[in-house]
Structure 1
Amino acid sequence: MKQPFKLSIAVAVTLSTTVLAMAEADDSFASTKVYLGGKTIDADAWSAQDGHGSIGLLTDFNTGFHGVRVAFDLFGSGSEDETNSLVKGTYTAEAQLGVRKVIELQSRFKPYIGGGVNLAYATQTNDDGSGKTEQEDTATGFWLNGGVDFLITDRFTAGLDLRYATAEVALFDETVELNALSTGVSLGYRW
């Protein structure tokens, strides 16, 4: 794993912990959502496996400043191919740190927009007939998202999320642009 990636993860964890402490001191709330969806990666090298299933954990902490929250989202995705293709599996993991603005309406619907830094990890498994080989790489990019949550109760939410994330990795001597559009549904808890 590259040093900048490790440093980025350490900074993200430190910032998240600090913001959580501020939110608790400010008597603000945080929210955590479980995400299930799909991801389409616009990469020529992964064209046979550009559709990934995706799971995630979306967390944000209220800053107390006009609906702006600090967002820390984690995602994993993957696709496998059992045909005669050289590429047998493509997988990604992402840690996304940024801000999310919730638009407060006088209803149970809470639309939001957000963006920030995308810390991405990708791995690819190939099989040329003589055995499987695997390579991995890390990269940094950006992410943007929008969505809407519906308050089922004052604490529980159901939502829709649309996001775009970028990163560029090198696997098997090819540049793979992980420019991905993701759509999914979420179930969450506000505390």
Structure 2
Amino acid sequence: MKKLTLLTILLSLNSSLVSASGYSGNINLSLGTKEISSPDWSGDESLNSLGIIANFKEDSWPVNIAIDAFVSFSEDLSEDNYEVSTSEYHLGLRKNWDITPFNISPYLGGGLAIAFGSLDEEIDGKKKNDIDRSIGAWFGVGANYKLMDRVSIGADIRYSDAEYKLHNKNFDANGISSAISIGYVW
């Protein structure tokens, strides 16, 4: 429920901010994968990912404020009877460079990662769930290509780190996410 609430808030940014003169930014829906670098996850190191990548700035600011949210999940129970999901909220700064003749805007950014991990484990035929949270960092690069005046497509690659304790086991969730996106530019 918290994930849906955050996505709703991000998608319904205050219209006065979006339309205010002197402000610019974009909001993108992303689809991709998260590759966890640790073998702790027993076959679930590759997760599907859905996210929102958003940033805004006042015209005089040198960098954008980045507010991103991602949900990553395994498709089903792995051979070890685990089902994994993570949600991450990335807050930070993002520098965009507009290359106007080519309608492309490469960027790089980084900041604070607030992450939640969930593990459903099947024990004696019953599914048991455990949830933990972690605070870490993220760093990402990408680019958006402006298709039309207000529509862009893009690609994003980022690294984030998190560590969880689930069902009394330690899990390292450091990894690289890659995604494609479509978005609205203002």
- Shorter-chain TM-score: what band? 0.7 to 0.9
Instruction: Supply the distance in 2 between the matched residues of 1:181 and 1:57 (Cα, whole angstroms).
Output: 16
Greater than 3 Å deviation, 4+ residue runs: 20-26, 80-84
Counterparts in 2 of 1:59-78, with a 5 A limit? 59-65=54-60, 67-78=62-73
Structure 1 position 63, deviation (Å): 3.1
Instruction: Supply the distance in 2 between the matched residues of 1:42 and 1:142 (Cα, whole angstroms).
Output: 15
Q: Structure 1 pair 57/91, CA: closer, same or farther in 2 (3 Å)?
A: same
**Selected match of 2:27 from 25, 32, 37:** 32
Question: What's the counterpart of residue 86 of structure 2?
Answer: 92
Asked if 1:184 corresponds to 2:179, the answer is yes
Instruction: Supply the distance in 2 between the matched residues of 1:182 and 1:31 (Cα, whole angstroms).
Output: 20
Counterparts in 2 of 1:1-191, with a 5 A limit? 27-65=22-60, 67-82=62-77, 84-87=79-82, 89-107=83-101, 108-191=103-186
Q: Secondary structure at the match of 2:51?
A: strand
Instruction: Supply the distance in 1 between the matched residues of 2:44 and 2:57 (Cα, whole angstroms).
Output: 37
Q: CA RMSD in A?
A: 2.3
TM-score (norm 1): 0.83
Q: Secondary structure at the match of 1:118?
A: strand
User: What number of residue pairs does the alignment pair up?
Assistant: 175
Q: Structure 1 pair 105/81, CA: closer, same or farther in 2 (3 Å)?
A: same
Give yes or no for contact 1:31–1:188 (8 Å, CA) kept in 2. yes
Instruction: Supply the distance in 2 between the matched residues of 1:49 and 1:22 (Cα, whole angstroms).
Output: 40
TM-score (norm 2): 0.85
Unaligned runs of 5+ in 1: 1-8
Q: Secondary structure at the match of 2:43?
A: helix
Structure 1 position 84, deviation (Å): 4.2
Q: Deviations over 1:135-183 (max 9, x none)?
A: 0001111111101111101211011111111111111112111111011
Percent identity, aligned pairs only, is 29
Unaligned runs of 5+ in 2: 1-5
Instruction: Supply the distance in 1 between the matched residues of 2:75 and 2:163 (Cα, whole angstroms).
Output: 20
Structure 1 position 128, deviation (Å): 2.5
Amino acid at match of 2:40: A
Give yes or no for contact 1:23–1:63 (8 Å, CA) kept in 2. no
Question: What's the counterpart of residue 3 of structure 2?
Answer: none
Give yes or no for contact 2:145–2:152 (8 Å, CA) kept in 1. yes
